[in-house]
Amino acid sequence: MNNKTTISQQLDKAATTATPIAQPSEAVKFSLEEAYNIQHKLIQLRLDRGETITGYKLGFTSKAKMQQMGVDDLIWGVLTDNMEIKPDENIDLNQYIHPRAEPEVAFRISNDIAQEITLNDIPQYIDKMAVAIEVIDSRYKDFKFSLEDVIADNCSSIGYCIGQWQDLKEDITNLPIQLTFNDKTVQSGFTQAILDNPYQSIVELSRLAAEKNLVLKKGQIILAGAATAAEWLKPKTKVSAELKGFGEVRFNTL
């Protein structure tokens, strides 16, 4: 596919100017592998501007979502330092196209992960976890896209806000998690929705990374996947996520 670079450039311009574009798959068909190659070129454009990779996010961590999309594996995107939203920071929604928020569980890598690991290995590679909020934002018109389109678009990655890092707990399979707007709950669920156990997201990411000969580096973060549906962001909103036993994190929209 000769136009992977062109698509990545179009997606990058759409993100930097907050201007939606048509789905590239409407004009040309491309495979999942080609979609990840486009994503790679898209991230390289960010790195060329001086950004650094800070971690990775997982999508389709809900088995129901996998079935809905007709896939049998997770998808993943790349996070950079430019995407970080500091706790209590004010963000301008004009920099996005279709911004939505999801409550998440974040993990911090303590030792490089260079191969597929198991659940039993996690304490050797992960030292902290925290409640987080991911902001997602498709670069496509009308928030419509194919599976290949969303992977090419870095799985709609655009922002993340992480709460205070805390020690791991042995069992995090059924913790309540909620998203609130101006102190009103707009989404709620349980961590069981994330692959039945958010720690499993780390295992799956290690497998996906190993297939690409990618090393997950010490200090990088992992967003395990959404435990609820995403909620549209609106101006003048205090956005907060709370995970039982791990406190809350918040930011504000202008």
Helix 4-17 to helix 32-48 angle, to the nearest 10 degrees? 50
pLDDT at 1: 41
Beta strand 184-190 with 90-91 is unpaired
Please work out, in degrees rounded to the nearest 5, the angle formed at the alpha carbon of residue 63 by the alpha carbons of 61 and 65.
Answer: 80
CB atoms within 10 A of CB 238: 14
Q: What percent of the chain shows pLDDT beyond 90?
A: 90
Number of H-type helices and E-type strands within the chain? 6, 13
pLDDT at 3: 76
The residue-averaged pLDDT of 234-241 equals 98
Rounded Cα distance, 60 and 74, in Å: 5
- pLDDT of residue 18 exceeding 70, the answer is yes
- Average pLDDT of the chain to the nearest whole number: 95
Structure token digits, residue 96: 């996005």
Is the separation of the CB atoms in 16 and 158 below 8 Å?
A: no
pLDDT at 66: 64
3-state SS assignment for residue 117: coil
Q: What percent of the chain shows pLDDT beyond 70?
A: 95
Query: Range of 217's domain?
Result: 4-253
The residue-averaged pLDDT of 169-188 equals 97
CATH number of residue 184's parent domain: 3.90.850.10
pLDDT at 193: 95
The residue-averaged pLDDT of 104-125 equals 98
Domain count, the chain: 1
- pLDDT of residue 51 exceeding 80, the answer is yes
Rounded Cα distance, 74 and 195, in Å: 10
The residue-averaged pLDDT of 103-110 equals 98
The residue-averaged pLDDT of 28-39 equals 94
pTM of structure? 0.96
The residue-averaged pLDDT of 112-136 equals 98
> Computed from CA positions of residues 87, 93, 96, 101, in that sequence, does the dihedral angle turn out positive or negative?
positive
Q: Any bridge partners for residue 232, and if so which?
A: 100
Q: 């080609």: which residue's tokens?
A: 34
pLDDT-based confidence at 210, cuts 50/70/90?
very high
The residue-averaged pLDDT of 22-29 equals 92
